[in-house]
């Protein structure tokens, strides 16, 4: 096995101390007045009892003979097992644990794509099932491609060394401007195509983990624009979002950019703090979803001439709730994985992060089910699913910093907030959002970001500091109002910059290929015109409940000619 890069340093010590072949173990005499004795790396470790070959040949059912000192990598077999070998192995093990943890957590988050696909498809009508699933399916490919080409470089090109992953030293180029006497990191510039020096195992682990988070943000947008979005427009929007929108804000928050340095530069708490991405992932996704939904306009038949909305029930609550379970499971990778490690630097707090995540999802569904039950008389399955997700979204930013009571409260508020927000967007703002993506991810993402500034309780210790500021992250309720201000600056950036940029990109794509399908396509269902085949070819699709008539036809926001009400039998 190979030695890590510390070997040259220790080899130098070897030379200085002289060859230690057969030397005894104890420490050389310490200088007068010092209380610490130092051991030489070349010191050979002797008399370590290990099982003999005969014992091992008999088999080891209890497992207590497997994994011993004989498994430690020895740099020089002639010298034998030295302290240098032990030190190297310990370091390698810590990094290996962190790699394993980060990668497996990343795999869990990748599986959330299936959850999003099922939730969105179940909340849409059956005639659009193929198209909705395809958007959620291909967002994985489009996003990954855009991120590999340039998104990752923009986001993490200048993040510097991430100790948990053994350094990621090649990610060391950040484009920075200087204003008001402070450095403002804007975007990274190393890591395009993961080539050159960024062809590095630590960078690879970081890339995989960050990519699946980026894809989570992208897949949110397909929810609010579903049932009327051209597939080509979706493809272009995903590429732009994965290449530019998401990576820019993520650089500012996680890549060492200016938002994360608000603490170092201006004394505002620990700068903008976002443990796993309520802001970076969910608010970015939700606000882009809002921009898309506003530009594209409501579905035909959603709003009557007098502005009252019509219910358009989803076609399969079974897959909606199954999808919510998949998302809740994947969130165990999303939040706890964001330590990027399970060994050292306060990483054992992953246990607390995981419990916070569970709790907030649970109280989120509670809040939603109580609200719907009391207000409307029956618990509504789709809103309860949204409530679970809202709780998970809201706890994403604070999960590493709060106690279980804080987590439960954050989730409960999120559960009620998502119901109120859905009502607001549907009835007041008149933005048609088939799956509630804007409310679950946008509104509750912003709530999650804010709640860090309130509930972070100062007991976490991730290697002594966060974002370059020593000490533990603390919110308003635990004595640090500056943290709340930093969080609110993040909220303002999301609303002001991210929403505006997304809207601009959407206008660009609209100019390039057109965002919305024609009215005939929308009424027939997108499956055949856009995808060429039905999602459910063997089932006779039900007639729509809301058939546009003279009283409820709405002209789409732009594009197609006004709808002529089809005859009653020409259904789906």
Partner 1 sequence: MVKIEAIIQTSRFEAVKEGLHQLGVEGMTVSEVRGHGRQKGHTESYRGREYSIDLIPKIKIEMVLPESLVDPAVQSIIQTARSGKIGDGKIFLSKVDEAIRIRNEERGAAAL
Residues that bind partner 1 (CB under 8 A): 309-313, 372, 375-378, 380, 382-383, 419, 422-423, 426, 436, 543, 545-546
What is the smallest separation between the CB atom of 311 and partner 1, expressed in angstroms?
4
Q: Which is nearer to partner 1, 417 or 422 (CB)?
A: 422
HSE toward the beta carbon, residue 265, CA cutoff 13 A: 18
d(CA 274, CA 320): 28
Annotate 512-551 with DSSP letters as a single string.
HH-SBPPHHHHHH-SIIIIISS-SSTTSPPPPPS----TT
Task: Give the torsion through C-alpha atoms of 420, 426, 430, 432, to 10 deg.
Answer: 130
Q: Which two tokens stand for residue 277?
A: 């991405």
- Indicate the residue among 373 and 558 with the shorter CB distance to partner 1: 373
433 versus 530: smaller Cβ distance to partner 1? 433
Residue 382 C-beta: closest distance to partner 1, Å: 6
Nearest-approach distance from CB 313 to partner 1, in angstroms = 5
Query: What residues are paired with 376 via a beta bridge?
Result: none
Residue 438 CB, nearest distance to partner 1 (Å)?
13
Q: Which is nearer to partner 1, 426 or 527 (CB)?
A: 426
Sequence-distant (6+) residues with CB within 8 A of 415 are 363, 364, 365, 366, 367, 368, 369, 370, 371, 387, 388, 390, 391
Helix boundaries (H) for 377-434 = 381-396, 404-423
- Smallest gap from Cβ 314 to partner 1, in A, equals 8
Give whichever of 143 and 385 is closer to partner 1, judged by the CB atom.
385
Q: Which is nearer to partner 1, 49 or 311 (CB)?
A: 311
Contact between 236 and 506 under an 8 Å Cβ cutoff? The reply is no
CB closer to partner 1, 72 vs 384: 384
Q: How far is the CB of 437 from partner 1 (least distance, A)?
A: 13
Q: What is the 3-state secondary structure (H, E, C) of 469-522?
A: EECCCECHHHCCHHHHHHHHHHHHHHHHHHHHHHHHHHHHHHHHHCCECCHHHH
The least distance separating partner 1 from the CB of residue 316, rounded to whole angstroms, comes to: 14
- What angle, 0 to 180 degrees and rounded to 10, lies between the N-to-C axes of helices 350-376 and 404-423? 40
Which of 324, 248, 274 minimizes the C-alpha distance to 500?
248
Helices and strands of the chain, counted as H and E runs: 19, 4
What's the rounded Cα separation, in Å, for the pair 125 and 85?
62
Check if the beta carbon of residue 516 is closer than 8 Å to that of residue 229.
yes
Q: Considering beta carbons, is residue 23 or 317 the nearer one to partner 1?
A: 317
Cα distance between residue 17 and residue 11, in whole Å:
10
Tokens of 26: 């104890």
Q: List the structure tokens of 159.
A: 């993040």
Least distance CB 436 / partner 1 (angstroms): 8
Q: How far is the CB of 367 from partner 1 (least distance, A)?
A: 15
Nearer to partner 1 (CB atom), residue 313 or residue 479 = 313
CA 329, CA 109: separation in Å to the nearest integer? 9
Complex with partner 1: residue 300 or 372, whichever CB lies closer: 372
Shortest spacing between CB 422 and partner 1, in angstroms = 6
Residue with Cβ nearer partner 1 (313 or 562): 313
Instruction: Report the nearest approach of partner 1 to the CB of residue 527 (Å).
Output: 22
- Using H for helix, E for strand and C for coil, what is the string for 88-102? HHHHHHHHHHHHHHH
Instruction: Please name which of 171, 163, 207, 162 lies closest in space to residue 189, comparing C-alpha atoms.
Output: 171
Q: Which is nearer to partner 1, 310 or 521 (CB)?
A: 310
Q: How far is CA 527 from CA 226, 262, 463, 489, 517, in A?
A: 12, 48, 52, 42, 12
- The nearest distance, CB 380 to partner 1, in angstroms, is 6
């Amino acid at each position: 096995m190979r030695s890590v890069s510390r070997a040259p340093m220790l080899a130098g010590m070897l030379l200085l101390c002289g060859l230690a072949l057969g030397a005894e173990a104890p420490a050389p005499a310490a200088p007068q007045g010092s209380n610490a004795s130092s051991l030489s790396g070349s010191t050979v470790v002797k008399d370590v009892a290990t099982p003999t070959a005969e014992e091992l040949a008999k088999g080891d059912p209890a497992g207590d003979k497997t994994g011993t000192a004989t498994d430690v990598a020895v740099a020089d077999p002639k010298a034998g097992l030295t302290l240098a070998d032990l030190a190297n192995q310990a370091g390698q093990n810590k990094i290996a644990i962190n790699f394993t943890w980060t990668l497996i957590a990343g795999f869990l988050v990748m599986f959330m794509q299936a959850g999003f696909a099922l939730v969105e498809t179940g909340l849409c009508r059956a005639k659009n099932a193929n198209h909705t699933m395809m958007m959620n399916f291909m967002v994985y490919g489009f996003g990954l491609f855009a991120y590999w080409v340039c998104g990752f470089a923009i986001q993490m090109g200048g993040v510097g060394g991430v100790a948990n992953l053994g350094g990621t030293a090649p990610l060391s180029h950040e484009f920075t401007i200087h204003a008001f006497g402070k450095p403002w990191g804007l975007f990274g510039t190393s890591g395009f195509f993961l080539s050159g020096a960024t062809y590095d195992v630590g960078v690879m682990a970081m890339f995989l983990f960050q990519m699946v988070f980026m894809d989570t943000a992208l897949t949110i947008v397909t929810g609010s624009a579903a049932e009327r979005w051209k597939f080509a427009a979706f493809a272009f929007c995903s590429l732009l979002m994965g290449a530019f929108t998401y990576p820019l804000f993520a650089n500012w928050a996680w890549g060492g950019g200016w938002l994360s340095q608000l603490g170092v530069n201006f004394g505002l708490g620990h700068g903008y703090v976002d443990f796993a991405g309520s802001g970076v992932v969910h608010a970015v996704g939700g606000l882009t979803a809002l921009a898309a939904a506003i530009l594209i306009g409501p579905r035909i038949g959603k709003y009557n001439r007098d502005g009252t909305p019509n219910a358009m029930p989803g076609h399969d609550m079974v897959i909606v709730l199954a999808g919510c379970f998949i998302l809740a499971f994947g969130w165990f990778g999303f939040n706890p994985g964001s330590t990027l490690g399970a060994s050292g630097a306060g990483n054992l707090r992953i246990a607390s992060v995981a419990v916070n995540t569970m709790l907030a999802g649970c109280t989120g569904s509670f809040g939603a089910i109580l609200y719907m039950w009391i207000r409307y008389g029956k618990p509504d399955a789709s809103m309860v699913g949204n409530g679970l997700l809202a709780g998970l979204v809201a706890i994403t930013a604070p999960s590493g910093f709060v106690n279980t009571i804080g987590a439960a409260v954050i989730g409960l508020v999120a559960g009620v907030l998502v119901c109120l927000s859905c009502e607001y967007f549907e009835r007041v703002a008149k933005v048609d959002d088939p799956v509630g993506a804007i409310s679950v991810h946008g509104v509750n993402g912003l709530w999650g970001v804010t709640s860090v500034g309130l509930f972070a309780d100062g007991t976490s210790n991730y290697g002594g500091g966060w974002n370059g500021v020593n000490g533990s992250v603390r919110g308003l309720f635990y004595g640090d109002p500056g943290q709340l201000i930093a969080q609110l600056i993040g909220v303002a950036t999301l609303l002001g910059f991210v929403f505006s940029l997304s809207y601009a990109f959407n206008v660009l794509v609209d100019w390039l290929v057109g965002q919305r399908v024609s009215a005939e396509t929308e009424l027939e269902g997108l499956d055949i015109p856009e995808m060429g085949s039905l999602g459910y070819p063997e089932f006779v699709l039900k007639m729509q409940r809301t058939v546009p008539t003279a009283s409820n036809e709405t002209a789409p926001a732009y594009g197609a000619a006004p709808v002529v009400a089809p005859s009653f039998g020409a259904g789906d």
